[in-house]
Structure formats: C-alpha cells, structure tokens
Structure 1
Amino acid sequence: MPQYLISSYLPDDFDPSSVTEATIEAIHALNREMIAAGVRKFACGLSPKTTTLRSQANGEVIVTDGPYLETKEHVGGLWILETESLDQALAWVRKGAQVLQGVVEVREIFFNPAPEPG
C-alpha cells in the first residue's frame, strides 16, 4: 500500500505560544482518528532550527546553520500515512489542513529496498 509524507508549513516568524489548547486538542483528536483507522504510521512536530550538510566536489562536507534553501517558512511537522490511494490520503490531509489552518503538502514515498547481500 502506498505511503505519503504529509508536511505542514509554518511561517519563519511563527510563535508557538500562539497555538491554542483547542488547536492542540484538535491535532490530538485527528491523530487518534488516523491511528484508529490504521493509516497513521508516524507523526511529529519539527524545530525550526536546522543544520545543513553540503558535499563539495573535493569530497569535503561543509556544515552550516540554517536551512538549505532561503525561504519565509519551514516544515513545522509531518505525518507519514499509509492509504490505498492518493485520494484517501488527500481526504485525511484536508482534515489536517483545517485543523492546522495552514499549508500542508503531500508527497508519495518511493521506497527501493536494498538488494540482498551476497
């Protein structure tokens, strides 16, 4: 069954203290609903602080603070859902977009298992 990465975005100036208890409970309720339906495989929030590693042509790896891309928003959290179709994933994500009152992105996860050793 296909899996989907659901990313929610927050503005870089997002203030976590602005999130209401009602919104937090709505997020928990949606997570419980997804778990009960057997579609949620993983969920979490993410810190806006990032560290980026960039491989250089000479083989060196440079470590820098901040995101790889300069943007006005960042990934604030994610879900991994497993559904029978993109349409089913989108039905769940519509609920998430309503609860989060923001931008949510859906990407199918492509998995290529490593060949067996030997």
Structure 2
Amino acid sequence: MAFPEEEGPAVGEAAHAVVREAQDAGVWIFGGGVESQRASIVATDGMVTDGPYPETKAVIGGFAMVDVPSREEALEWAAKFAVACRCAQEVREIMFDPLV
C-alpha cells in the first residue's frame, strides 16, 4: 500500500471523484478494486493451478478502463488516478474486437 491504512477512506473518495469526472466526460468504461493478489491459471486443457504470485512489493490494487482517442489522453487520466490513489499507474492499450 502506498499510503497509511487510515488514509484509505480519503483515497477511496478521491478515486471515486476521478471516476465521476470520467463518467461526466463520457470516457468511463469500467473499473474496480482487486480484492486479493491471489490468481489462478486455467490451461487450455482446463487444468487449474494457483499462481502466479507477485515476487515484489508491487501489487495491483485496482484498474480503470477509459475510452479515449489518444494515448496522451489516457496518460492524462492515469495522472489523475495517480494523484487520487497516491500511487503510480500502469497504462496499457486494449484492442476492441470489431466484430462485437
């Protein structure tokens, strides 16, 4: 956690304020907090195994998906979330399936 536990409510409110701003701007798609760092891998044969496990102190606390016309605008939204969440944000581009 990038901030003291007692600051959690304030961080949550700040993050929700950015979500509301993104909703008002019409760019919000979906997001949420990650409940735990536990992961499971499902292989192509259906076999389920535990893992992977983070080997560093870095964790994924949540994610936000926005639909914006440029990477630069995505980085601007990430900067707003970084300030609100008090931690660095990773930005990735998602390809949408044109057939859906």
TM-score range, shorter chain: 0.7 to 0.9
Identity %: 28
Q: How many residues are treated as equivalent by the alignment?
A: 99
The alpha-carbon distance between structure 1 residues 71 and 18, as it changes in their structure 2 partners (threshold 3 A), is farther
Superposed, 1:63-78 pairs within 5 Å as 63-64=49-50, 67-72=51-56, 73-78=58-63
Question: Could you tell me how far apart the structure 2 residues matched to 1:19 and 1:48 are?
Answer: 19
Question: Helix, strand or coil: the match of 1:105?
Answer: coil
1:109 aligns with 2:97: no
Greater RCO, 1 or 2 (C-alpha within 8 Å, sep 6+): 1
Structure 1 regions of 5+ residues with no counterpart? 1-9
How much is the aligned-residue C-alpha RMSD, in angstroms? Answer: 2.6
Higher normalized strand content (fraction of residues): 1
Bigger Rg over Cα? 1
Question: Helix, strand or coil: the match of 2:65?
Answer: strand
1:53 aligns with 2:38: no
4+ residue runs of structure 1 moved beyond 3 angstroms? 17-20, 112-115
Partner residue, 2:12: 24
Q: TM-score, structure 2 length as denominator?
A: 0.79
Do the aligned residues in 2 keep the contact of 1:48 with 1:74 (CA within 8 Å)?
no
Partner residue, 2:65: 80
Higher normalized helix content (fraction of residues): 2
The alpha-carbon distance between structure 1 residues 78 and 60, as it changes in their structure 2 partners (threshold 3 A), is closer
Question: Helix, strand or coil: the match of 1:103?
Answer: coil
